[in-house]
């Protein structure tokens, strides 16, 4: 088990390093000059004093060779320092820390709703004996995945805010203001969870051990929840780990639609201002959320199926 945990942690660190390196190179080679944009000259740096531009480039380290910039930035990032925002002058970590609580509330609520709704749809679709109901429920996940998130958000605002006046349309207005954004973000995520879990449950219910349980007199509910669900939950758990990172990306659209303060709006503003340090901080934070969620999933796997650790040990053992 210890070897399994160490291997997963090493993989998580490798993913973080790769995300930082790729984001640094991509942002460095993008067209545009963040220093000129900060000085108010846009793409035309001739409108600003060249000495002022040179001083700003030196201040932010943009006048150094790329490899030197990368080495210095990576060394600071390991210590949790991503530099200062080009557009605001504040430390990147402070900007992220201010926006983080609202985004974590949104993504946490959306993930919880997605798991509950997706799991309920999958369980009911595979448990019911009514063919029409099963087909109806199994048709919902593809529909949820295909519908654009921004369209769902605008529709919910129109129905539940402007017409029914049940929830606020915009802003960070406490728990009531969290409902519509969380539902908007949870619909495509829950649809994927339902799709994967339903398929895994249908496959598990056709296995030989289910027939054995039936022969021993186990009821349908016991077979469904205790035998089939435990084995079928592994693929769905993998999807939840992958989607945890994607929820951060989805928050950009949702927070924009509902005018909520959070990492989404910070990211949109940073991209518009060509704020490279802030954009890179957001990218690395998203990667951290992604690898943390997947690391938790990897550590939960052996609890659900101890054979995973045994299989992993056999793969790394010498012949």
pLDDT in tens, 267-291: 888 877 778 788 888 888 888 887 8
How many residues are recorded in the chain?
Answer: 319
Question: How confident is the model at residue 39, as a pLDDT?
Answer: 62
- 88 or 123, which is more confident: 123
115: Cβ contacts below 8 Å, ≥ 6 apart: 190, 193, 240
Distance CA 192, CA 122 (A): 10
- Identify the band that residue 37 occupies on the pLDDT scale cut at 50, 70 and 90: low
Closest CA to 147 of 99, 194, 184: 184
Chain centroid to CA 176: how far?
23
Distance CA 309, CA 302 (A): 6
Look at residue 202 and tell me whether its pLDDT is greater than 50: yes
Tell me the percentage of the chain whose pLDDT exceeds 90: 3
Look at residue 90 and tell me whether its pLDDT is greater than 50: yes
- Identify the band that residue 307 occupies on the pLDDT scale cut at 50, 70 and 90: low
Look at residue 157 and tell me whether its pLDDT is greater than 60: yes
- Identify the band that residue 24 occupies on the pLDDT scale cut at 50, 70 and 90: confident
Q: What is the mean pLDDT of the chain?
A: 80
- 137 or 8, which is more confident: 137
- Identify the band that residue 44 occupies on the pLDDT scale cut at 50, 70 and 90: very low
Could you read off the pLDDT of 223-271 as tens digits, one per residue? 888 878 877 887 887 787 777 777 877 777 788 888 888 887 888 888 7
Look at residue 316 and tell me whether its pLDDT is greater than 70: no
Question: How confident is the model at residue 269, as a pLDDT?
Answer: 81
Closest CA to 185 of 159, 160, 148: 148
DSSP 118-179: HHHHHHHHHH---HHHHHHHHHHHHHHHHS-HHHHHHHHIIIIIIIS--S-SSS--HHHHHH
Distance CA 278, CA 82 (A): 8
Question: How confident is the model at residue 31, as a pLDDT?
Answer: 67
Tell me the percentage of the chain whose pLDDT exceeds 70: 87
User: Average pLDDT, stretch 162-176?
Assistant: 81
- Is pTM, for the whole model, over 0.75? no
End-to-end CA distance of the chain: 20
Closest CA to 239 of 114, 53, 66: 114
Look at residue 168 and tell me whether its pLDDT is greater than 80: yes
Distance CA 74, CA 25 (A): 12
Distance CA 205, CA 314 (A): 29
The label of the residue with tokens 């969620």 reads 293
């Amino acid at each position: 088990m210890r070897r399994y945990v160490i291997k997963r942690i090493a993989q998580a660190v490798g993913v973080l390093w790769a995300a930082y390196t790729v984001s640094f190179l991509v942002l460095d080679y993008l067209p545009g000059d963040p220093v000129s944009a900060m000085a108010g000259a846009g793409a035309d740096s001739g409108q600003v004093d060249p000495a002022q531009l040179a001083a700003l480039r030196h201040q932010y380290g943009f006048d150094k060779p790329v490899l030197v910039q990368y080495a210095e930035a990576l060394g600071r990032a390991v210590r949790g320092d991503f530099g200062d925002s080009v557009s605001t002058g504040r430390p990147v970590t402070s900007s992220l820390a201010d926006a983080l609580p609202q985004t974590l509330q949104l993504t946490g609520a959306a993930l919880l709703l997605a798991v509950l709704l997706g799991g309920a749809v999958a369980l009911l679709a595979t448990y019911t004996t009514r063919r029409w109901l099963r087909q109806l429920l199994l048709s919902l996940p593809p529909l949820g995945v295909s519908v654009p998130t921004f369209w769902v958000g605008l529709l919910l605002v129109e129905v539940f805010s402007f017409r029914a006046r049940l929830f606020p349309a915009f802003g960070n207005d406490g728990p009531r203001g969290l409902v519509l954004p969380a539902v908007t973000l949870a619909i495509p995520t829950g649809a994927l969870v339902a799709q994967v879990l339903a398929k895994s449950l249908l496959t598990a219910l056709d296995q030989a051990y289910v027939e054995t349980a039936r022969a021993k007199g186990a009821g349908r509910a016991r077979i469904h929840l205790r035998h089939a669900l435990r084995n079928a939950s592994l693929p769905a758990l993998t999807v939840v780990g992958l989607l945890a990172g994607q929820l951060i990306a989805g928050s950009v659209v949702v927070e924009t639609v509902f005018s909520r303060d959070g990492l989404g709006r910070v990211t949109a503003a940073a991209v518009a201002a060509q704020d490279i340090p802030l954009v890179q901080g957001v990218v690395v934070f998203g990667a951290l959320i992604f690898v943390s969620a997947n690391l938790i999933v990897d550590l939960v796997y052996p609890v659900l199926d101890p054979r995973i650790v045994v299989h992993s040990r056999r793969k790394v053992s010498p012949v």
